[in-house]
Chain A
Amino acid sequence: MTSRNHNQPSPSEITPEPVYQARRRLLMAGAALPLLGLGACEAGSSDAPSSQSATPRPAAEEEQTRFEDASTYNNFYEFGTGKADPARYAHTLQTAPWSVQIAGHAEETGSFTLEDILKPHTLEDRIYRLRCVEGWSMVIPWRGFPLGDLLKRFRPTSKAKYVSFHTKVDKQEMPGTRYPVLNWPYREGLRMDEAMHPLTLLVTGMYGRDLPRQNGAPLRLVVPWKYGFKSIKSIVRIEFTEKQPLTSWNLSQPSEYGFYSNVNPAVDHPRWSQKTERRIAGTSSRLFANRVPTLPFNGYADQVASLYTGMDLRKYF
């Protein structure tokens, strides 16, 4: 297993300095806009609306979330529903030995050890925004490899239209699973083209080190343009399916959590707004965390919007 530093986005993604600077000013104007209130109407409002639709800056240029914050503020209900519960209780999770069941419509299936899974892949570092459906967000440097590279190895057949994932479930190691807050095991799924998209990562580390258990060790998914709950943790099963797989949050509240769950400021959660997000990042006081506008597809629209052309994203939320 080699490790290649891939902190910076691909060359095509890198914005030329002057363009970036100009864009940054626009973004600043956009960020300051709500504070200005009515004053903004007088002060050149012409460039304000474009700030939200402008191509977002790459996550690598944004202030990162502190490791201590990203590893202590987690939603991992298998260890409790409080944000601090996973960091407190996940130490009981046995992550070695670890194996992943590959099943469904593929030429090669069966049980694979984590070592088998990881061996041929080169790990790279990528900085992504993570937007939680609850209205907060982080900027996290992940370490992993494209999920598609793994899936290809099993040679999915033409019947493989979706990929389904399961999290480990163990009442001893994961005390939260003793209570049916969700329908265990935690399940997630992607359409095949979403799973094969180069932005979709299988992750084994973050901040240049191994994944902490509360962040989904030893193997998790990261789909940066979807709400965080789609990025399933501690994966033990990957199945190629013909039909759209069941997903835990959709089973729990179908009217609130759709299968796609793409980040979309235009489609509110039935109970709260998704227009803006509290950004947990940077090193200044957490008490005055920035609230920033939420971007379509979490700022990855240029890369992924084409996956959904012709789809009504209000219906398929």
Chain B
Amino acid sequence: MRVVQIAKAVAHLAAAAPALWLGWRIANDLFGADPVAEITHFTGDWALRFLLLSLAMTPLRRLSGRAEPIRFRRMLGLWAFFYATLHLATYVVLDLGGYWAQIVEDIVKRPFITVGFLAWLLLLPLVVTSTRGMMRRLGRRWGQLHKLVYLIGVLAVLHFWWLVKADVREPLVYAAILAVLFLLRWPRRKAPSRSRTARTRVQSSQPGA
């Protein structure tokens, strides 16, 4: 128990590190000629990384046969939301600050911005229902609701893929990781009896999260 608590504190510090690094680089003017673009990419990268990390916890539990990874899942998801929100705020405030009509037009007309915004929007209900109380209240539907994270993962990778001009190598890496994380879930979901036990295990192990 203690070990997990300490590990979590360390994980929180590690998750905050990119934000601190970001603040330090901004304060010291280290983002170069176009900090707005750089900050947008930086926060977007970390949002996607934490999202994939949170998605890695269930496969990790299966592969390791240990319950601990699941206890990091919520915090990783919340950090993904934190960076996604910084990402969106950078775009709305620093980049398009004041050009409200263009923001609305972008969200409606530009597929890569539409899917990015949708991904952030879909994170909201997951964040709101991430507490232990909400989990208990929603019961079975909690699990169903939180399946949204799969869609969010796809939208987030698509958002990255569609914005690059020619060099898709980087989004390709994220797409491959996402695909692997999905594939690692596949066999369990095909066997209904086992997936039920998996779910009960998730719930019993979750309250400590």
A interface list, Cβ under 8 A from B: 34-35, 37, 65-66, 68-70, 72-73, 77, 81, 83-84, 134, 136, 181-182, 252-253, 268, 271-273, 275-276, 278, 280, 286-289, 291
Contacts and interface: CB of A to CB of B under 8 A. Distances in A.
B95 A278 contact: yes
A171 to B, nearest CB: 17
B111 A271 contact: yes
B110 interface: yes
A272 B99 CA distance: 14
Contacts of B101: 34
Interface stretch (B12-20, B71-79, B163-171, B195-203): B163-171
| Interface of B: prevailing SS | helix
A272 B162 CA distance: 10
B112 interface: yes
24 contacts: A34-B99, A34-B100, A66-B33, A68-B33, A73-B32, A73-B34, A77-B166, A77-B167, A81-B167, A83-B32, A83-B33, A83-B34, A252-B166, A253-B165, A253-B166, A271-B162, A272-B106, A275-B102, A280-B33, A286-B29, A286-B34, A286-B35, A286-B36, A291-B97
B33 A286 contact: yes
B23 to A, nearest CB: 12
Interface of B: 26, 29, 31-37, 94-102, 105-106, 109-113, 162-163, 165-167
Contacts, number: 85
A291 B33 contact: no
A231 B48 CA distance: 35
Contacts of A73: 32-34
Contact of A271 (B36, B94, B112): B112
Contacts of B95: 278, 291
